[in-house]
Amino acid sequence: MMKGSVLMYQVATVALLALACSLAFAYDPSPLQDFCVAVDKYDSAVFVNGKFCKDPKDVKAEDFFFPGLDIAGDTSSGQGSNVTAVTVEQLPGLNTLGISLARIDFASYGLNPPHTHPRGTEFIIVLEGTLLVGFVTSNQADGKNRLFTKVLNTGDVFVFPIGLIHFQWNPKKSKAIAFAGLSSQNPGVITIANAVFGSEPPINPDVLIKAFQVDKNVIELLQKQFWK
Protein backbone atom coordinates (compact mmCIF):
# COMPACT_ATOMS: atom_id res chain seq x y z
CA MET A 1 0.00 0.00 0.00
CA MET A 2 1.12 3.56 -0.62
CA LYS A 3 1.69 5.93 2.27
CA GLY A 4 -1.46 7.96 1.48
CA SER A 5 -3.74 4.95 1.46
CA VAL A 6 -2.28 3.68 4.76
CA LEU A 7 -3.18 7.04 6.28
CA MET A 8 -6.69 6.85 4.79
CA TYR A 9 -7.04 3.36 6.22
CA GLN A 10 -6.00 4.62 9.67
CA VAL A 11 -8.39 7.57 9.50
CA ALA A 12 -11.22 5.24 8.48
CA THR A 13 -10.40 2.87 11.34
CA VAL A 14 -10.41 5.70 13.88
CA ALA A 15 -13.70 7.02 12.45
CA LEU A 16 -15.28 3.56 12.68
CA LEU A 17 -14.08 3.16 16.28
CA ALA A 18 -15.51 6.56 17.19
CA LEU A 19 -18.82 5.59 15.59
CA ALA A 20 -18.85 2.27 17.48
CA CYS A 21 -18.25 4.13 20.76
CA SER A 22 -20.99 6.68 20.11
CA LEU A 23 -23.37 3.86 19.18
CA ALA A 24 -22.47 2.08 22.41
CA PHE A 25 -23.40 5.22 24.37
CA ALA A 26 -26.68 5.45 22.48
CA TYR A 27 -27.93 2.29 24.22
CA ASP A 28 -29.39 1.93 27.73
CA PRO A 29 -27.40 3.41 30.64
CA SER A 30 -25.71 1.06 33.12
CA PRO A 31 -27.81 0.19 36.18
CA LEU A 32 -27.12 2.44 39.16
CA GLN A 33 -28.61 0.04 41.72
CA ASP A 34 -29.20 -3.72 41.97
CA PHE A 35 -32.49 -3.48 40.08
CA CYS A 36 -35.03 -0.92 38.94
CA VAL A 37 -38.41 -2.59 38.37
CA ALA A 38 -40.69 -0.59 36.08
CA VAL A 39 -43.92 0.96 37.37
CA ASP A 40 -46.73 2.29 35.19
CA LYS A 41 -47.90 5.07 37.50
CA TYR A 42 -45.37 7.83 38.11
CA ASP A 43 -46.89 8.70 41.51
CA SER A 44 -45.85 5.28 42.86
CA ALA A 45 -42.28 5.60 41.53
CA VAL A 46 -39.40 6.07 43.99
CA PHE A 47 -36.58 7.05 41.66
CA VAL A 48 -35.33 6.73 38.10
CA ASN A 49 -32.05 4.93 37.37
CA GLY A 50 -30.17 6.66 40.19
CA LYS A 51 -31.75 9.64 41.91
CA PHE A 52 -34.05 12.43 40.75
CA CYS A 53 -32.32 15.75 40.06
CA LYS A 54 -32.81 18.84 42.20
CA ASP A 55 -34.03 21.98 40.42
CA PRO A 56 -30.71 23.67 39.37
CA LYS A 57 -31.86 27.05 40.75
CA ASP A 58 -32.13 25.49 44.24
CA VAL A 59 -28.63 23.92 44.13
CA LYS A 60 -26.14 25.16 46.71
CA ALA A 61 -22.41 24.63 47.32
CA GLU A 62 -23.39 22.35 50.24
CA ASP A 63 -24.83 19.87 47.72
CA PHE A 64 -21.24 19.20 46.55
CA PHE A 65 -19.68 19.22 50.02
CA PHE A 66 -18.91 16.50 52.58
CA PRO A 67 -16.89 17.26 55.74
CA GLY A 68 -15.06 15.06 58.21
CA LEU A 69 -13.00 12.56 56.25
CA ASP A 70 -10.07 13.53 58.49
CA ILE A 71 -11.83 11.61 61.28
CA ALA A 72 -11.00 7.90 61.65
CA GLY A 73 -13.83 5.37 61.69
CA ASP A 74 -14.18 3.19 64.80
CA THR A 75 -12.33 -0.08 64.13
CA SER A 76 -12.95 -1.65 67.55
CA SER A 77 -15.74 -4.02 66.46
CA GLY A 78 -16.03 -6.68 63.77
CA GLN A 79 -12.95 -7.53 61.76
CA GLY A 80 -10.94 -4.45 62.66
CA SER A 81 -11.73 -2.20 59.71
CA ASN A 82 -14.19 0.63 59.13
CA VAL A 83 -15.22 2.02 55.75
CA THR A 84 -16.49 5.61 55.74
CA ALA A 85 -18.17 5.70 52.33
CA VAL A 86 -19.02 8.92 50.52
CA THR A 87 -21.44 7.87 47.79
CA VAL A 88 -24.46 9.68 46.34
CA GLU A 89 -26.26 8.82 49.62
CA GLN A 90 -23.88 11.04 51.61
CA LEU A 91 -23.01 13.55 48.86
CA PRO A 92 -26.05 14.29 46.64
CA GLY A 93 -23.94 16.30 44.17
CA LEU A 94 -22.42 12.99 42.98
CA ASN A 95 -25.69 12.04 41.24
CA THR A 96 -25.01 11.04 37.58
CA LEU A 97 -21.28 11.82 37.89
CA GLY A 98 -20.04 8.23 38.04
CA ILE A 99 -17.67 8.65 40.97
CA SER A 100 -17.49 8.21 44.75
CA LEU A 101 -14.91 7.76 47.48
CA ALA A 102 -14.21 6.18 50.84
CA ARG A 103 -11.88 6.38 53.80
CA ILE A 104 -10.86 2.99 55.18
CA ASP A 105 -9.36 2.64 58.65
CA PHE A 106 -7.61 -0.50 59.85
CA ALA A 107 -6.83 -1.51 63.42
CA SER A 108 -3.72 -3.64 63.94
CA TYR A 109 -4.29 -6.83 61.91
CA GLY A 110 -7.64 -5.40 60.79
CA LEU A 111 -9.31 -6.89 57.71
CA ASN A 112 -11.62 -5.50 55.06
CA PRO A 113 -12.91 -8.97 54.14
CA PRO A 114 -13.30 -10.33 50.58
CA HIS A 115 -16.00 -8.32 48.79
CA THR A 116 -16.88 -6.95 45.37
CA HIS A 117 -18.33 -3.71 44.05
CA PRO A 118 -20.81 -4.77 41.36
CA ARG A 119 -20.85 -1.32 39.73
CA GLY A 120 -17.41 0.16 40.27
CA THR A 121 -13.69 -0.14 39.69
CA GLU A 122 -11.78 0.96 42.80
CA PHE A 123 -8.34 2.33 43.39
CA ILE A 124 -6.86 2.76 46.85
CA ILE A 125 -4.00 4.87 48.07
CA VAL A 126 -2.34 4.05 51.38
CA LEU A 127 -1.93 7.15 53.55
CA GLU A 128 -0.44 5.44 56.58
CA GLY A 129 0.81 1.96 57.42
CA THR A 130 0.95 -1.22 55.39
CA LEU A 131 -1.75 -3.25 53.63
CA LEU A 132 -1.70 -6.66 52.01
CA VAL A 133 -4.23 -6.32 49.18
CA GLY A 134 -5.40 -8.54 46.37
CA PHE A 135 -8.09 -9.38 43.86
CA VAL A 136 -9.12 -12.60 42.13
CA THR A 137 -10.05 -12.84 38.45
CA SER A 138 -13.34 -14.23 37.19
CA ASN A 139 -13.31 -17.90 36.09
CA GLN A 140 -10.74 -18.17 33.30
CA ALA A 141 -10.79 -20.41 30.23
CA ASP A 142 -8.66 -22.98 32.08
CA GLY A 143 -11.22 -23.04 34.92
CA LYS A 144 -8.87 -21.24 37.31
CA ASN A 145 -9.18 -17.96 39.23
CA ARG A 146 -5.95 -16.01 39.34
CA LEU A 147 -4.95 -13.97 42.42
CA PHE A 148 -3.12 -10.66 42.02
CA THR A 149 -1.71 -9.56 45.36
CA LYS A 150 0.72 -6.97 46.68
CA VAL A 151 1.98 -5.44 49.92
CA LEU A 152 1.35 -1.68 49.85
CA ASN A 153 3.08 0.98 51.93
CA THR A 154 2.39 4.68 52.43
CA GLY A 155 1.90 6.41 49.07
CA ASP A 156 1.28 3.20 47.12
CA VAL A 157 -1.76 2.84 44.86
CA PHE A 158 -3.54 -0.34 43.73
CA VAL A 159 -6.51 -0.90 41.42
CA PHE A 160 -9.32 -3.44 41.89
CA PRO A 161 -11.14 -3.92 38.55
CA ILE A 162 -14.94 -3.66 38.52
CA GLY A 163 -16.85 -6.62 39.94
CA LEU A 164 -13.84 -8.68 41.05
CA ILE A 165 -13.49 -10.09 44.58
CA HIS A 166 -10.85 -8.19 46.55
CA PHE A 167 -9.62 -7.61 50.12
CA GLN A 168 -7.29 -5.46 52.23
CA TRP A 169 -5.55 -6.69 55.36
CA ASN A 170 -3.28 -4.85 57.76
CA PRO A 171 -0.45 -7.30 58.56
CA LYS A 172 1.13 -4.98 61.15
CA LYS A 173 0.62 -4.06 64.78
CA SER A 174 0.29 -0.35 63.94
CA LYS A 175 -2.88 1.07 62.38
CA ALA A 176 -3.32 1.78 58.67
CA ILE A 177 -5.32 4.35 56.72
CA ALA A 178 -6.32 4.24 53.04
CA PHE A 179 -8.51 6.32 50.76
CA ALA A 180 -10.40 4.81 47.84
CA GLY A 181 -11.92 6.23 44.67
CA LEU A 182 -14.70 4.31 42.91
CA SER A 183 -16.08 4.66 39.39
CA SER A 184 -19.76 4.84 40.35
CA GLN A 185 -21.99 7.16 42.38
CA ASN A 186 -23.30 3.94 43.99
CA PRO A 187 -20.70 1.18 43.54
CA GLY A 188 -22.49 -1.24 45.90
CA VAL A 189 -20.76 -3.79 48.12
CA ILE A 190 -21.22 -7.55 48.26
CA THR A 191 -19.35 -8.97 51.25
CA ILE A 192 -18.86 -12.54 50.11
CA ALA A 193 -19.20 -14.38 53.46
CA ASN A 194 -22.22 -12.29 54.53
CA ALA A 195 -24.00 -12.77 51.22
CA VAL A 196 -23.39 -16.52 51.02
CA PHE A 197 -23.68 -17.58 54.69
CA GLY A 198 -25.64 -14.70 56.23
CA SER A 199 -28.44 -14.04 53.72
CA GLU A 200 -31.99 -13.54 54.96
CA PRO A 201 -33.63 -15.95 54.66
CA PRO A 202 -30.64 -18.33 54.68
CA ILE A 203 -29.66 -20.29 51.56
CA ASN A 204 -30.75 -23.95 51.91
CA PRO A 205 -27.76 -25.67 53.66
CA ASP A 206 -27.85 -28.53 51.12
CA VAL A 207 -26.94 -25.99 48.42
CA LEU A 208 -23.93 -24.78 50.41
CA ILE A 209 -22.85 -28.30 51.51
CA LYS A 210 -22.61 -29.27 47.84
CA ALA A 211 -21.12 -25.97 46.67
CA PHE A 212 -18.36 -25.93 49.30
CA GLN A 213 -17.93 -29.74 49.49
CA VAL A 214 -17.93 -29.82 53.29
CA ASP A 215 -20.03 -31.48 56.02
CA LYS A 216 -23.35 -30.14 57.24
CA ASN A 217 -21.85 -29.08 60.60
CA VAL A 218 -19.33 -26.81 58.86
CA ILE A 219 -22.12 -25.04 56.96
CA GLU A 220 -24.25 -24.79 60.14
CA LEU A 221 -21.30 -23.25 61.96
CA LEU A 222 -20.73 -20.73 59.16
CA GLN A 223 -24.44 -19.85 58.95
CA LYS A 224 -24.48 -19.25 62.73
CA GLN A 225 -21.65 -16.68 62.61
CA PHE A 226 -22.40 -13.04 63.16
CA TRP A 227 -21.89 -11.86 59.57
CA LYS A 228 -22.87 -8.20 59.97
Question: Can you tell me whether residue 71 is helix, strand or coil?
Answer: coil
Applying CB under 6 A, among 34, 62, 63, 74 the residue interacting with ligand NAG is 74
153 is in an annotated binding site: no
For ligand NAG, give the closer residue by CB, 106 or 135.
106
Closest to 129 measured CA to CA, from 85, 79, 81: 81
Cβ-based burial of 161 (10 A; exposed 0-12, middle 13-18, buried ≥19): middle
Helix (H, G, I), strand (E, B) or coil at 152: strand
Nearest-approach distance from CB 168 to ligand NAG, in angstroms? 15
Is 117 annotated in a binding site? The answer is yes
Q: Exactly one of 51, 82, 88, 208 binds ligand NAG (CB under 6 A); which one?
A: 82
Buried b / exposed e along 126-156 (16+ C-beta atoms within 10 A): beebbbebbbbeeeeeeeeeeeeeeebeeee
Spatial CA neighbour of 161 closest among 151, 152, 148: 148
Binding characters for ligand NAG, 34-73, by CB under 6 A (x = yes): ---------------------------------------x
Q: How far is the CB of 200 from ligand NAG (least distance, A)?
A: 18
Task: Write out the residues near ligand NAG by the rule CB under 6 A.
Answer: 73-74, 77-78, 82
User: From the annotation, which residues make up the binding site for Mn(2+)?
Assistant: 115, 117, 122, 166
